[in-house]
Amino acid sequence: MSHARFAELHCVSSFTFLRGASHPEELVARAAQLGYRALALTDECSVAGVVRAHRATRDHPLHLIIGSEFTLADGLKLVLLCPDRAAYAGLCGLITRARQQAGKGDYRLDRTDLANAALAECLCIWLPGESCPASDGRFLQTLFAQRLWIGASRFMEGRDRERLCALRHLGETLGLPIVACNDVHMHRRSRKPLQDVLTAIRLKIPLQMLGTRLQPNAERHLRSEQRLATLYPAAWLEESVRIAERCRFSLDELQYEYPAELVPAGQTPTSWLRELTESGAHQRWPAGVPAKIQALVDQELALIAEMRYEPFFLTVQDLVRHARSLGILCQGRGSAANSAVCYCLGITEVDPNRMDLLFGRFISRERNEPPDIDVDFEHERREEIIQYIYAKYGRHRAALAASVITYQTRSAIRDVGKALGMDLPEVERLTRTVDRLDGYRLNPAQLRANGYDPGGRVLRQLSALVNTLVGFPRHLSQHVGGFVIAAEQLSRLVPVENAAMAGRTVIQWDKDDLESLGLLKVDVLALGMLTAIRKTLAYVSAYSPRPIALVDVPAEDPAVYDMLSAGDSVGVFQVESRAQMSMLPRLKPRNYYDLVVQIAIVRPGPIQGQMVHPYLARRAGREPVSYPSAAVRKVLDRTLGVPIFQEQVMQLAMVAAGFSAGEADQLRRAMGAWHAKGRLEQFEQRLLNGMTLRGYRETFARQIIQQIRGFGEYGFPESHSASFALLAYVSAWLKRHHPAAFCAGLLNAQPMGFYAPAQLVRDARQHGVTIRPIDADISQWDATVEGPERALRLGLRLVKGLPREAADRLIHARRVRPYRDLNDLARRARLSRRDLESLAAADALRGLTGHRHEAYWQTNGIEAATPLFEDLRIAEAEPLLRTPSEGESIVADHAASGLSLRRHPIALLRARLERAGACPLAEAWDVPAGNTLRVAGLVICRQQPGTAKGVTFVTLEDETGQLNLIVWRQLAERQRSTLLRSTLLLATGTVQQQDGVLHLVASHLQDFSAWLGGLTHRAREFH
């Protein structure tokens, strides 16, 4: 492209939020198509989009320049470009300073900041305002000397010639060269309507009221060189190329340096990691490390040393060590986590003797990327680990990765609708036409059904703008736990800005950006089940002869597998969903590895790859197990010849098609992009050729490729499933042998899991647990286990509207002496009227006041005591208040605490439902398959998995149990409102029963929600 005569040096993307109307990838592709010499991505005070642009240059060869645009507090505007690594470090430092001097999403710079920044290598393009003050130029000359240009732009706005003359004169006066640059906001002019809408959203003003605040035309797009040649003198265009040739910096030059202080004096990272690993190995195998494990350890350590990843493993080990020193449960997962080294270091509990994991999945010689280790910590105590990281490394060296929050359909409708001047109630009504059945897209049929004309001008405009806006970044948020830790100043590598949460800082790149550049990210994640397990173990230890810890849970208990094989898994980690419950009786797990398969098989990858039914048929003996070769058998033997895990697909590519470990990992990465970007086609022929060359039949090769396509949707890694299976087993053991403690642990770790407290309590009751109500005289904040009968006492945390601080005061004062009456409680616990009303609503004052109506009456009579009469008790006549009916009490219970220990609400409606022809859900088990049945129940869950081809699954609950409905797409379309909005749903359908799994295939739905009166109930929607 040496003929190119222009390089665009001023261009903002969608990462200049609500200004740029094109994605970085679109800008790179268009600039390459136009034959530009180079493109500078100069988002405002940001480099958040540069990695995406950098990736795009691999498909569209183009010289990418890194830069940024700034507007100082006094209005001085400039663009800084990075000719080399030192300039890039200075730019990142300036962005960090600007961002951290302002609130989230904003920045602030003045001339002093600019003068004090390390910008000795940066190139500067000054963008003079309308008045073109020479003093601004002289100020910049003192900072940039021979590295300063005046940027000239022509947008056909009526005063271009006058403007260019002024800039020419300014350049001559100051002795500054002029360069053409175009303040690009769009890759094509067709994005102008969207750019206008973005402006309206940013300024919070409807389009029709913006006037001159809108760009007057669409000239701020990437224009052809021919067009530019008619607008600018040739010398100004050529100057852009000369500047571009000075900017040789590439993101590929970034070298990550790991923290070094974890290595004691006299040790190297290699020797210290080996010492820790060997020490841990001797603790794991006191009688001697097995030869197989020692060989594996030596192999892994050699590979880690070759890739110089020792500091990464030492960093993770240090976090795990610190967590355990504080009594915080944690567990590592990931391909590198489930290695012999990590087992020895205590990062994971997955015994390498029990697994055959592909350690080289992320650690390979072909690809210089960090290994994959995620560490889950108790979700209530993860903050302690985060603060440990900040304290150990300092905020100048540690920050969270970003998460890019993008527009979804509903948020796009809201913002576009307001920008178009629609009334807010109308906008909200529009958003309600979008639901899961249409993939959260605007559906013309749904618009018509709701009284809209999709062909009308406003609706056509809105639909087109919404469809384009979906996927655009809105702002940066913080990653759920991905920390970047640097050896020195992190802001020399990437800008660091303030997060919304106090005390948190985030970098401007997300996890995909970090992965692309090979930068270390330590995932410090929160897992509610670990909190629940720790709390459950504490309860069990309290009533057991000796304390019990995670390591004391006995392995391979047949009673646990009997429970799971019956589909009895409410609350059990990873296997409690409707789909998992349906699979359990079919797969019938009998050991740990069966659980590993169980967790992974109910995922889109195996389902789309048509692997589930062959696996179950082979497991049940209905289909023979066969392998085309001994090599393939070694890979697939543990899953009966069917690939279930991502690692197996990669291993098949290696043993059957001759891929290297690095090539196999590239295949894994391509899997996720197959449907979206068609990245797997480049591997298909290589797979076919490789397998044919090694003597495999084409039918087998095609079958493997079809299965790989399935994994393109989502294939679960065996490494993650192995770690999850450990927690699944522990949680199942606790449920089986300590149901009251387990339910208490789950309740006290909320919000988490698949089920609401009402379902968890109901399940515990079905397992023989006595449930005792919330009581201000007895309950702690958490649920507790009481007495030798191990009854479960509900905690004050369930009382809606009761602050933790108020509950703590109530409990503390009660420990001094029991409460005499409600006045005594209110006075000594210093409870407000609202606190007392919350307790009354939850029926938690029964022991002091009587029933709920009496509690409300007494609460309203509470007045602040004066010192003189503080202990005075005045006898008053008791009012004759009606006792609430059972129905009133049930409704009030659900409203105040989300559950009721009285009868199930449906039990009160049973007679009416029977007259409507609906039988109890439990009776469905007695109806032969193929028969028609009518049932009714509360909707507790609606799901539509991506693999379900439009099928919606609904779980109903009544006083006898639960039942799963299958709703085909055609019925869902016909009865959309009933399906999506019913709380009490009556369904007629055909019974489907096989292998201990029961479903009702719905043929007709009716909404009976009005029968529930004021009952508060919310279903779990599409999770």
Quote the pLDDT of residue 625. 92
CATH number reported for the structural domain that contains residue 909 in this entry = 2.40.50.140
Residue 178's DSSP bridge partners are 150
Strand order in the sheet with 178-180: 7-8, 38-41, 63-71, 77-81, 123-126, 148-152, 178-180
Record the tokens describing residue 983, joined without a space: 């709380």
Q: What is the DSSP string of 587-655?
A: H---SHHHHHHHHHHSSHHHHHTT-HHHHHHHHTTSS----SSHHHHHHHGGGTT---SHHHHHHHHHH
Task: Give yes or no for residue 976 having a pLDDT over 70.
Answer: yes
The pLDDT tens digits of the residues spanning 982-1000 come to: 999 999 999 998 877 889 9
Quote the pLDDT of residue 846. 92
Pairing of strands 1020-1021, 932-943: parallel
Do 337 and 263 belong together in one domain?
yes
CB 188 within 8 A of CB 221: yes
Task: Give yes or no for residue 362 having a pLDDT over 90.
Answer: no
Of the candidates 207, 227, 208, the one whose C-alpha atom is nearest the C-alpha of residue 219 is 227
Residue type present at position 907: A
pLDDT average, residue stretch 736-758: 94
Q: What is the DSSP string of 893-944?
A: HHHHHS--SS--HHHHTHHHHHHTTPBPGGGGGGSPTT-EEEEEEEEEEEE-
CATH number reported for the structural domain that contains residue 213 in this entry = 3.20.20.140
Q: Which of 253, 278, 306 is the last residue of a domain?
A: 253
pLDDT average, residue stretch 44-60: 95
pLDDT average, residue stretch 948-966: 87
Question: Residue 1017 — pLDDT band, cuts 50, 70, 90?
Answer: confident
- Which carries the bigger pLDDT value, residue 433 or residue 721? 721
Quote the pLDDT of residue 669. 67
pLDDT average, residue stretch 517-543: 92
Tell me, yes or no, if the pTM score tops 0.85: yes
Q: Identify the DSSP state of 11.
A: B
pLDDT average, residue stretch 491-510: 89
Task: Give yes or no for residue 115 having a pLDDT over 80.
Answer: yes
737 is a domain residue: no
pLDDT average, residue stretch 927-935: 93
Task: Give yes or no for residue 896 having a pLDDT over 70.
Answer: yes
Number of domains in the chain: 7
674 is a domain residue: yes
Do 248 and 324 belong together in one domain?
no
pLDDT average, residue stretch 705-720: 70
Task: Give yes or no for residue 710 having a pLDDT over 70.
Answer: no
**Residue 818 Rama label (left phi>0; alpha psi -120 to 50; beta):** beta
The pLDDT tens digits of the residues spanning 100-113 come to: 999 888 999 999 99
Q: Which of 253, 284, 314 is the last residue of a domain?
A: 253
For a pLDDT cut of 70, what percent of the chain falls above it?
92
Question: Residue 675 — pLDDT band, cuts 50, 70, 90?
Answer: very low
For a pLDDT cut of 90, what percent of the chain falls above it?
62
Task: Give yes or no for residue 673 having a pLDDT over 90.
Answer: no
- Environment class of 761 (CB within 10 Å of its CB; exposed 0-12, middle 13-18, buried 19+): buried
Do 605 and 586 belong together in one domain?
yes
722 is a domain residue: yes
Record the tokens describing residue 97, joined without a space: 């300073």
Quote the pLDDT of residue 907. 94
Do 265 and 235 belong together in one domain?
no
Say whether the peptide bond before residue 751 is cis (omega within 30 degrees of 0).
yes
Task: Give yes or no for residue 9 having a pLDDT over 60.
Answer: yes
Do 365 and 402 belong together in one domain?
no
pLDDT average, residue stretch 716-737: 91
Residue type present at position 284: R
Task: Give yes or no for residue 1021 having a pLDDT over 80.
Answer: no
630 is a domain residue: yes
pLDDT average, residue stretch 895-916: 94
2 is a domain residue: no
pLDDT average, residue stretch 221-246: 95
Lowest mean pLDDT: which of 143-152, 489-498, 635-644? 635-644
Do 266 and 309 belong together in one domain?
yes
Do 117 and 238 belong together in one domain?
yes
Do 57 and 115 belong together in one domain?
yes
Quote the pLDDT of residue 2. 45
Pairing of strands 791-793, 771-772: parallel
Of the candidates 874, 366, 386, the one whose C-alpha atom is nearest the C-alpha of residue 664 is 366
Task: Give yes or no for residue 283 having a pLDDT over 80.
Answer: yes
Task: Give yes or no for residue 679 having a pLDDT over 70.
Answer: no
CB 845 within 8 A of CB 861: no
What phi and psi values does residue 784 have, to the nearest 5 degrees? Answer: -135, 165
Q: Which of 226, 253, 280 is the last residue of a domain?
A: 253
Q: What is the DSSP string of 844-884?
A: TTHHHH-SHHHHHHHHHT--PPPGGGTT-----PPP-PPPP
pLDDT average, residue stretch 527-548: 95
Quote the pLDDT of residue 455. 78
Task: Give yes or no for residue 250 having a pLDDT over 80.
Answer: yes
Task: Give yes or no for residue 947 having a pLDDT over 60.
Answer: no
203 is a domain residue: yes
Quote the pLDDT of residue 663. 77
Do 427 and 400 belong together in one domain?
no
**Residue 690 Rama label (left phi>0; alpha psi -120 to 50; beta):** alpha
Of the candidates 241, 246, 220, the one whose C-alpha atom is nearest the C-alpha of residue 81 is 246
Do 220 and 292 belong together in one domain?
no
Do 414 and 476 belong together in one domain?
no
Mean pLDDT of the chain: 89
For the ranges 266-280, 352-366, 686-700, the one whose mean pLDDT is highest: 266-280
Quote the pLDDT of residue 91. 97
Consecutive H or E run containing 955: strand 952-958
Quote the pLDDT of residue 158. 79
Q: Which domain holds residue 439?
A: 410-465
CB 891 within 8 A of CB 1013: yes
CB 641 within 8 A of CB 618: yes
Consecutive H or E run containing 294: helix 291-307
Question: Residue 82 — pLDDT band, cuts 50, 70, 90?
Answer: very high
Of the candidates 931, 932, 928, 920, the one whose C-alpha atom is nearest the C-alpha of residue 956 is 920
CA-based R_g, the chain, Å = 33
Do 911 and 992 belong together in one domain?
yes
Query: Helix, strand, coil % (nearest 5) of the chain?
Result: 50, 15, 35
Residue type present at position 549: A
Task: Give yes or no for residue 404 having a pLDDT over 90.
Answer: yes
Residue found under tokens 């397990």 = 533
389 is a domain residue: no
869 is a domain residue: no
pLDDT average, residue stretch 782-810: 96
Instruction: Give the separation between CA 658 and CA 689, rounded to whole angstroms.
Output: 10
Residue type present at position 528: G
